[in-house]
A and B are shown apart, each in its own frame.
Chain A
């Protein structure tokens, strides 16, 4: 058990070292919590206050049980808030505490400097608490069951957001509207007022106008381009009550907070692990602590029974990058070298490893990180493989050790944070205000029972038929939820 004074001494020391190593972070607030509170925080995904929902209770149940069985201990948790908050388990030993503080410093550096994460900055803690209060008020007003079941509906589609909209501006052609208006206005032939009725007969003008309007309606689809941010689309266009709209926007805001963190998990954890090791082994620890540290560190980076550990993968990949840029093992000359012995000894004395790491930390996310730096040598050294389910035996088997396939699969699993890419292509399908969704099929089918259930939930928000176009067992298919109990599949 650590006294706060001692803790802040350690913190100051480690922060000083971290700054000297070039990490760049603002003040971090540490809080010492008991394991019980840690489980609560874990259940709330790191936040002290969240809106009431049973799934947090479910998280709590599993956190409790993993802790009770000694399977996993959560040493720390850190929130990408401004300022950063981090929690330390009160039962941590001195060495663990040091490790956690160094680890957290690196996380905070990442939050501040990684371009993918740095966009979500602010008083997230307060926002979550505000969301909680808003939802609680709704529950008071409309009844907890009503609000809960609506939340369940919305949470089903919380992944249907536009993951990239945080970084790019999806331009809407604003000029379009003006020209459209002109198009609809029918030009008149100039005439004297008393002749106007005959030169420009109103019936004719009306007819032309109608025709043009119809044409315009056809030309302009709604939304103008496929919309990935389904939640936003529903907020704007679905026939919802005010409080329902508010719930959707709360769920959406929180989804946008978590998305960048998910999209950088491997890199972020690898980065933090890399730095806690550098800081502790090079500067902070004394000889008597090193064994304890090694024990903890290896537990963090272990990969049991064939599973891939993001901490381990991220760390290994960063180490590999450091070595390659230290020794100049990249570029055309190195790539085209076929002499393995020479490659093994390759060292141009470039020494840019650390510099490269800071660059990687600043501009990459998991997908680009894996795509850019996972090499054949790395895959072989790390003994990576892809696995698949053997449908005959019901067992999982090693499928391949081909590095291209490994990279492909990893990138697939990480793309869109592992969610299928679904967008709205038409919000007024066949001019009957039916919703048309399109799944961008990437070789793997949707889980069908879930897809149908989810569509039903979207239907309950949209109140009009909902279509989904996808591919099922090699066939292009459109499934339509006409009403709550009428679902139709149609091969296209």
Chain B
């Protein structure tokens, strides 16, 4: 029977996944999911998947209730999910069900929907990570690791050899020396490491709305990269006219006035890479979000650092320009001109929540100009 319900349940979850995929744009932009960072399960309210049938307009029907109150008193607001529990026949059933989806599943769906290519490690095998797998057997160990079958087998063997096994009354009693325990064996696996740089323009022209867009976009990019590499290191750089590295909790909160010198951030990023991620084993990703309103005389310097220093070292450089009511948003054009031959630089333009999905696709997806870098982004 377990198999039966499991099958129907799996089918239902498939249908739910389909629904989520259909409305991915909306769910991706849902800030609640991001608010629950750290949790592995996200709860997504979806309208109950209901087969259409002939029914009344329940908002016109009303119902019968019980309790205190005067005529005209407020009972509850529409959409309050509790009504569904009184069962049919007593009033309108509100049908919203919440479905639990793991964040990993969401990221998978995102990857499937956007056809994001997997990121290929730069060089596999130089770093080794050691894992412990319980693949061996020992004579001592904690009881929680006791291997019942082996223990039993040992006891049986002993009794057969010593002739105490009675076929008429087949009792097998393990004694101390029969006990066997699972034991860990170290296994080493090649591992690829990754570091992820988020660079954010915090100059006065980047408002809360812009930052919220960045935050959502960055969240999903982060999730996608985490999925590909074990143990991703994060570095956060903010800049206005000068750049600083900050702790993640301050990243979206810092607000500065003043002008913008993108070169400062690129230079800092370069310095960090040289200092901490110099070896070839690191897969490096950098994503820069700004409104593109740079000091004009700085453009050349910024692009030079980017081209000469950053791009050659990075697996991928993503540039997301967020529309802001101020400023010209000029930098994206300069950048596109400057790096048009580079296959590992991606740019995108974000205006509203609806663009987030496309932005993720632009930054991480297959190249649309058909340049052959589908898997290996290097």
Contact = CB atoms under 8 A, between A and B. Distances in A.
Contacts of B5: 40, 43-44, 56-57, 60
Contact of B62 (A54, A387, A401, A445): A387
A102 interface: no
Contacts of A94: none
A48 B100 CA distance: 25
Nearest to B43: A65
Nearest to A451: B54
A52 interface: yes
Interface in B50-102: 51-78, 82-83, 85-92, 97-100
A418 B59 CA distance: 14
B12 interface: yes
B78 A399 contact: no
A205 interface: no
Interface in B11-69: 11-15, 48-49, 51-69
B56 A444 contact: yes
Given A52-B8, A57-B10, A157-B53, A383 B67 contact: yes
Given A52-B11, A394-B78, A410-B64, A155 B56 contact: no
Q: Please indicate which of the listed interface residues A52, A53, A307, A448 has the most CB atoms of chain B within 10 Å of its own CB.
A: A307
Contacts of B144: none
B9 interface: yes
A445 B57 contact: yes
Interface string A384-410: 111111010011111111000010011
B8 A60 contact: yes
A323 B57 CA distance: 38
A138 to B, nearest CB: 16
Contact of A48 (B1, B62, B64): B1
Contact of A61 (B58, B85, B97): B97
Given A58-B49, A444-B57, A450-B54, A387 B65 contact: yes
The B contact surface, by secondary structure, is mixed
Nearest to B72: A397
B64 A398 contact: no
A377 to B, nearest CB: 15
A48 B89 CA distance: 26
Contacts of A37: 1
A305 interface: yes
Contact of B64 (A386, A389, A451): A386
A447 interface: yes
B2 interface: yes
B340 interface: no
B230 interface: no
B67 A53 contact: no
A338 to B, nearest CB: 25
A395 B90 CA distance: 17
B139 interface: no
Contacts of A413: 61, 63-64, 89-91
A448 B83 CA distance: 22
A306 B66 contact: yes
A48, A56, A265: most-surrounded residue (chain B CB, <10 A) = A56
Contacts of A155: 51
B4 interface: yes
A399 B87 CA distance: 20
B257 to A, nearest CB: 42
A397 to B, nearest CB: 6
Nearest to B75: A396
A152 interface: yes
Contacts of A397: 72-75
Interface in A284-319: 303, 305-310, 312-313
B51 A396 contact: no
Contacts of B336: none
B376 to A, nearest CB: 37
Contacts of B67: 303, 305-306, 383, 385
A457 interface: yes
A310 B99 contact: no
A164 B143 CA distance: 64
B7 interface: yes
Interface in A160-188: 160
Interface in A58-97: 58, 60-62, 65, 71-72
A133 to B, nearest CB: 12
Contacts of B90: 307-308, 310, 413
B97 A385 contact: no
A57 B64 contact: no
Given A49-B4, A156-B52, A410-B64, A401 B82 contact: no
A-B pairs with lowest CB-CB distance, top 4: A57-B12, A453-B52, A388-B62, A57-B8
Interface of B: 1-2, 4-5, 7-15, 48-49, 51-78, 82-83, 85-92, 97-100
6 contacts: A386-B65, A396-B76, A420-B55, A444-B60, A445-B56, A448-B57
Given A308-B90, A384-B64, A397-B74, 6 more contacts: A159-B53, A309-B66, A382-B66, A419-B55, A444-B56, A447-B57
